[in-house]
Structure 1
Amino acid sequence: MLYKNTALKFLLFSFLWVSTTALAHSPDFSSIIISKTENGQIVLQITSSLTAFQQEVNYVNGEGAYTSPEEFQDLVLQLFKSRFSLILNNNDTIKFKNLKVLLGHETKIITEITGITTEITSIHLKNKMFKDLHNSQTVVIFLLDGFPKEKFTLQRDNKHELSIILEDEDWIVPTAKSDHTSLKYLPYLITLIIGGLLLFLSKK
């Protein structure tokens, strides 16, 4: 069993290494990994290209907002604190400490996570750090016992948020209410009706 778990983690890390290396040149892609170190610390790692961090920092703060690597790192951390959150069991907001930004062609935010309870029944993760970038997509992977094993993708369609709950030992995405779906298309329907009416009157 230990061999199988070790092999699974090795395969997951190998996949992530290949993926992030291949996408290091693209600002549209990023990854989030939550894992546990050998000494028991739970760590969050957000990885993307340096270009992605630069574009978002410049978009939020304007060109010339920083003049040194240290100032840039501070702005990245401000972005993280205002646009990232992790809530477990609906009300347990996770805390972060020892925040660091590791600059490079592949830039990382690394922080220790505290406050995770033993039993997890729901997860809400929000990462809008790169929401202003065209076609921004973030792959989320949990490498912790009791968390889902599959990967998830945050993008514009789900507002860069992930909400899942544990039901009968399976992690599922709650079904959206049907009235929300129908109301979403109401403006288009009204426009179509008005357009048809104006076309009919013009022919009269």
Structure 2
Amino acid sequence: MKKYILILLLGLYSLSGFSHQPEASSAVLIEKEPNVWVLQINASLTACQKEVKKHFADTPYKTPQEFNEMLLEHIDDNFDMRFNNGEKLTLNNGVVQLGHETKIIFEISGIPTELKSLTVENKVFEDIYKSQSILVILKENFAKNKFIMNNANEHRLSLAIQNNEFVEIVEEKANMNSTIIFIILGCLGLVLFLKK
């Protein structure tokens, strides 16, 4: 357990340079003990303020407590995590620690004991220009990997669990090369020309 705390602290220290960069955030999923999980989201205060201002424009906050409640609601609405293609996991007992680097911590319930896959969709800060978030998962006896969520993957990851390691499942997208399109159009033009 001590090594997880050390890794978490080192990771947070390395991210502290991002505390003034609203486009950078991190989400750390930690298994504190068997079947007891915590999610910690780290982001700049500026990013949190921008999101709350945008999504709660009709009811602006008047106190830090109201801001915290709106931020927790925004995260709950825009952070989706599912193990084994199951139901959305519940974020409980959210706590906000305001600062240049704001920390939001939740207890997670509903995680199955046998893990096969994980999907994560983090749209909390997607309104921020060039937003990207690092996902780190800390589970005992598992490899420690980092994954990036950004516009390129629509702030979404699909992970499989293989050999005590979370591995990204890369979805192949159809991509037609402009050369192929040019050849097809050329062939069609030739066929139409020869029919005359």
- The TM-score normalised by the length of structure 2 is 0.79
More helix by share: 1
**Number of equivalent positions:** 182
The answer to whether 1:36 aligns with 2:34 is no
Letter in 1 for 2:174: T
Letter in 2 for 1:121: K
Matches of 1:146 and 1:44 in 2, distance apart? 18
Matches of 1:45 and 1:95 in 2, distance apart? 14
Distance verdict in 2 for CA 1:171–1:69, change over 3 Å? closer
**1:23-50: per-residue Cα shift (whole Å, max 9, x none)?**
1111111111111347974211101111
Structure 2: give runs of 5+ residues left out of the alignment: 190-196
Cα contact 1:120–1:146 (8 A) shared by 2: no
Cα contact 1:120–1:147 (8 A) shared by 2: no
Structure 1 counterpart of 2:127: 132
Q: How does 1:142-181 map to 2 (within 5 A)?
A: 142-145=137-140, 149-167=144-162, 171-177=166-172, 180-181=173-174
Structure 2 counterpart of 1:52: 47
Letter in 2 for 1:96: L
1:18 Cα offset (Å): 2.0
Matches of 1:107 and 1:60 in 2, distance apart? 18
Q: Secondary structure at the match of 2:174?
A: helix
Matches of 2:159 and 2:36 in 1, distance apart? 24
Q: Secondary structure at the match of 1:93?
A: coil
1:101 Cα offset (Å): 1.6
Structure 1: give runs of 5+ residues left out of the alignment: 198-204
Letter in 1 for 2:84: N
Structure 1 counterpart of 2:21: 26
Identical positions, percent = 32
1:91 Cα offset (Å): 1.3
2:115 is matched with which residue: 109, 112, 120?
Answer: 120
- The TM-score normalised by the length of structure 1 is 0.77
Matches of 2:124 and 2:170 in 1, distance apart? 26
Structure 1 counterpart of 2:89: 94
Letter in 1 for 2:79: F
Structure 2 counterpart of 1:104: 99
Structure 2 counterpart of 1:202: none
1:60 Cα offset (Å): 2.0
The answer to whether 1:80 aligns with 2:78 is no
Q: Secondary structure at the match of 1:142?
A: strand
Cα contact 2:143–2:164 (8 A) shared by 1: no
Question: Cα RMSD between the aligned structures?
Answer: 2.8
Most deviating of 116-125 and 10-19: 10-19
1:79 Cα offset (Å): 0.6
Structure 1 counterpart of 2:175: 182
Distance verdict in 2 for CA 1:124–1:40, change over 3 Å? closer
1:182 Cα offset (Å): 2.5
